[in-house]
């Protein structure tokens, strides 16, 4: 039985475009802010759902993360989503969201985790003088950039790289790796299995 995919976006929607090019058509694309990703969804005939942070404290210190996360989970559950792919989603979600989709939230990160966690992974890679980086697709958990690693791809750091140039090469790799992993996860779920079966050994820190 086919499993419905939900995609979370906050930006340009290039990963969403990569999913669509792979034939992965979400049941719904949700965002925490108005963005091009929602326009990409609409153009593809996919429901574009805006669950704005404004009603939950916006981007101020008083943001009600738990209430927002529960509301977003409820919207996806109502639409029958069985697998969630975070694709440049800018809000850190509370445990309630992951409890609603246990072992079924995927994310991608621009480093070879567990190295260089956090929002500034590419800048940190360059600052450390690393000769190699990459991208990691993993099961997302309430801990930032943690959870079982499902796949990794390496990207060399080239002489003269700045943050923008290196990040764009990583993104190009993500646009191939991430859709492939999502497709495999959907196939496993359709067979009554779990995405965690894709887990691989972590790279050394």
Model pLDDT, residue 191: 96
Q: How far is CA 28 from CA 100, 199, 205, in A?
A: 16, 26, 36
pLDDT at 97 over 70: yes
Question: How would you label 62-75 residue by residue, b for 16+ Cβ within 10 Å and e otherwise?
Answer: eeebeebbbebbee
Q: What is the DSSP letter of 197?
A: G
Which of 109, 120, 138, 167 is flagged as catalytic?
109
Q: Is the pLDDT of residue 202 over 70?
A: no
Whether residue 109 lies in the annotated active site: yes
Is the pTM higher than 0.85? The answer reads: yes
**Confidence at residue 150, expressed as pLDDT on a 0 to 100 scale:** 98
| Cβ 86 vs Cβ 140: under 8 Å | yes
Cβ atoms within 10 A of the Cβ of 53, count?
A: 17
pLDDT at 2: 86
For 118-170, the pLDDT digits (tens) are: 989 999 999 999 999 999 999 999 998 999 999 999 999 999 999 999 999 99
Structural domains in the chain plus CATH codes? 4-193 (3.40.50.170)
* Contacting residues for 94 by C-beta, under 8 A, at least 6 apart: 65, 66, 68, 69, 70, 142
């Amino acid at each position: 039985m086919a499993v419905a995919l939900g995609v979370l976006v906050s930006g340009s929607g290039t990963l969403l475009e990569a999913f669509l090019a792979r034939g992965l058509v979400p049941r719904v694309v949700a965002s925490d802010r108005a963005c091009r990703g929602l326009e990409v969804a609409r153009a593809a005939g996919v429901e574009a759902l805006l669950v704005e942070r404004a009603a939950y404290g916006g981007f101020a210190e008083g943001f009600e993360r738990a209430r927002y996360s529960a509301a977003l989970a409820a919207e996806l559950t109502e639409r029958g989503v069985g697998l969630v792919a975070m694709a440049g989603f800018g809000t850190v979600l509370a445990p309630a969201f992951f409890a609603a989709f246990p072992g079924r939230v995927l994310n991608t990160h621009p480093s070879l985790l567990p190295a260089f966690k956090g929002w500034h992974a590419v800048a940190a890679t360059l600052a450390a003088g690393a000769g190699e980086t990459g991208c990691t697709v993993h099961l997302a958990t309430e801990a930032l950039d943690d959870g079982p690693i499902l796949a990794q791809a390496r990207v060399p750091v080239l002489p003269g790289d700045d943050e923008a140039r290196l990040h764009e090469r990583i993104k190009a790799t993500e646009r191939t790796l991430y859709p492939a992993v999502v497709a495999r996860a959907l196939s496993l779920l359709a067979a009554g299995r779990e995405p965690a079966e894709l887990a691989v050994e972590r790279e050394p820190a």
